[in-house]
Structure 1
């Protein structure tokens, strides 16, 4: 079989990387189509995934007009690569996967979460053979929509596939018992980030100064624009593939971005997310809050205050790890499902009875319909 995968962001690389390994080991041909965005191709190289680049998406002053101008060229490249590869099934999300599926007449599997990307969902779902999403998102994307217990991040953070690198503290240059915090600042340049504001420049500086009074602070700045020379913080400068190992050892992750907050929570690290002007209610965060693994804040002063409280709480790390152990044991290893769906050419009906039981059609009486 030939499986085409769209990995447009670093998170997408992590989502599919174990499945790609498994499929290639089983003798299938896999091709990843990607774009130059943040550290996406760095991760693909690190994990040895077979890929080709169809375009670029910047993180600095990247306007909608520029994106529109480049979109035509990206679709031309996608068309050429997809037709040449002639896939049996396609994995992805949004218009890219839908377009490739239309051209090649291959079934499309969309793996979605609860981001407010109504445009992406609207244009892609009519072309999908199967749509998969976590049950906690409570979306209703039609008759071909199925849910699984867990999160997209369970494809790479489930205990069956993740084990931390014990050398990460040495790589970071921190002592075995030295507390450290990761502050993650979003570039807010994606389509679903339109008109959203996170930490302001003043708030970033204030947060780093206050956190540094209690712990070593590492900054992961997606936009790459922060000047830390006069601030008591270090840039997170390990290879991006080690970020989950670093988060697993951290005393706290505080961020204005969603994916890394979810990841930290599933690793058992206190994860605090500042919403800023983002009013969307994410099913994943609501679930993680209920489990006591993540917290969200509408006001900057509240996230700062709570962060300092946690750093002063000697039992916080152990408490979060206990909660994580109790919670994640019931989550499924999503990689297993992705491999099974790929080998079933995107059809839920072709899954084995045991695998078929791990997905459920959306319960229409509880789901939130798409507009």
Structure 2
């Protein structure tokens, strides 16, 4: 089979990388269509995934004529690459995946999460043969929408999949028992981030100065605009493919961006998210808060004080590790599910009984989140 995958962000690369490896090992052809954005292509190269670029994501807002031209050029490249590859099934999450599936007359599978913007869903949903999303997002996207018990990050952080690199402390220059914190600042340049604000410049400085009094602090600045020359913190400068290994060993993660908070929580690392001006209610964060793996804050002083409390608490890591063992191991291994759906050509009628049991239909026929019928 020929499987076409769209990976437009670093998180998308991680979502599909294990599935792509397994599909190739099984003799299938996999092609990733991507754009230049952050470290997306760096990750594709690191993991040896076959890919072609169809464009780039600019962090500065283009004029309307520029945007129209860029979208047209990207769509034309996607059409050309898709027709050349002749896929049997397409995986993605937005209008570009829908376009590829439409022009090649190929089943299209959308793997979604709880992104607040509805534009991608609205545009692509009519062209999807199957939509898969975590049950905690509480969406109902129609008769072809199925949910699973877990998170999209379970494709690469489920205990059956993730194996931490024990040498990451050596790479970071950190002692075996030395506490360290990871702080992630959002670039806020994605479509769904428009108009949002996270940590202010003054809050960033205050947080780093105070945290550094109790632990070594590494900073990952998504926007790339912050200088650390006069601050007691170090830039996180390992290859981006090692970020989950670094998270797994950290005493704490603090961020005003979403995906890394989910990731740290699923790894059993205390994870704190600052909402800033983002008032959207995400099902993923609500669930992780419920099980005690993540915490969210509306006020800067509250997240700062909780950060200082946790990084000084020598028992916090053990508590979070216990919660992870009790919760994450029972979630769906999303890589297994993606591989099975791909090998079934996107048809849920052809998946294995175990995948059929893992998927829940949101159609009114069975009731929201009722288990889909099974012939086994």
Same fold (TM over 0.5): yes
Q: Is the 8 A contact 1:86 1:104 kept in 2?
A: yes
Does the aligned pair in 2 maintain the 1:111–1:131 contact within 8 Å?
Answer: yes
Output the TM-score relative to the length of structure 2. 0.95
Does residue 356 of structure 2 align to residue 348 of structure 1? no
Q: Give the match for residue 112 of structure 1.
A: 112
| Structure 1 position 345, deviation (Å) | 0.7
Distance between the aligned counterparts of 2:82 and 2:69, measured in 1?
21
Query: Which residue pairs with 2:315 in the alignment?
Result: 315
Is the 1:147–1:360 Cα contact (8 Å) retained in structure 2? yes
Q: 1:170 corresponds to which residue?
A: 170
For 1:1-371, list aligned pairs within 5 A: 1-59=1-59, 61-63=60-62, 65=64, 66-362=66-362, 364=364
Displacement of 1:68 in angstroms is: 4.0
Indicate if the aligned counterparts of 1:138 and 1:366 stay in contact, CA closer than 8 A.
no
Q: Is the 8 A contact 1:268 1:323 kept in 2?
A: yes
Distance 1:22 1:329 in 2: 21
The CA deviation string for residues 150-186 of structure 1, in whole angstroms up to 9 with x for no partner, is 1000000011111110000000011111110100011
Q: Secondary structure at the match of 1:208?
A: helix
> Unaligned regions of 5+ residues in structure 2, if any?
370-376
Distance (whole Å) between structure 1 residues aligned to residue 117 and residue 31 of structure 2: 25
**C-alpha distance in 2, partners of 1:161/1:67?**
39
Q: CA–CA distance in 2 between the matches of 1:222 and 1:100?
A: 30
Greater displacement, 357-366 / 211-220: 357-366
Length-normalised TM-score, structure 1: 0.97
Compute the displacement of 1:194 (Å).
1.0
Q: Secondary structure at the match of 2:218?
A: strand
Q: Deviations over 1:60-86 (max 9, x none)?
A: x34474544411111111011001001
| Partners of 1:266 and 1:324 within 8 A in 2 | yes
Distance, in Å, in 2 between the alignment partners of 1:69 and 1:272 is 40
Size of the alignment, in residue pairs? 366
Deviations 1:19-54 (A, max 9, x none): 000000111111000000000000000000000000
Instruction: Quote the offset at 1:354 in angstroms.
Output: 2.4
Question: Counterparts of 1:95 and 1:150 in 2: how far apart (Å)?
Answer: 25
Cα distance between partner residues in 2 of 1:141 and 1:193: 22
Secondary structure of the structure 2 residue equivalent to 1:272 = strand
Shift of 1:362: 1.4
How far residue 311 of structure 1 moved from its aligned partner, in angstroms, is 1.2
Q: Which runs of 5+ in 1 are unaligned?
A: none
Query: Aligned-residue CA RMSD in angstroms?
Result: 1.2
- 8 Å contact kept, 1:57–1:67: no
Does the 8 Å contact 1:185/1:255 carry over to 2?
Answer: yes
What SS class does the counterpart of residue 349 from structure 2 fall into? helix
Shift in Å, 1:207: 0.8
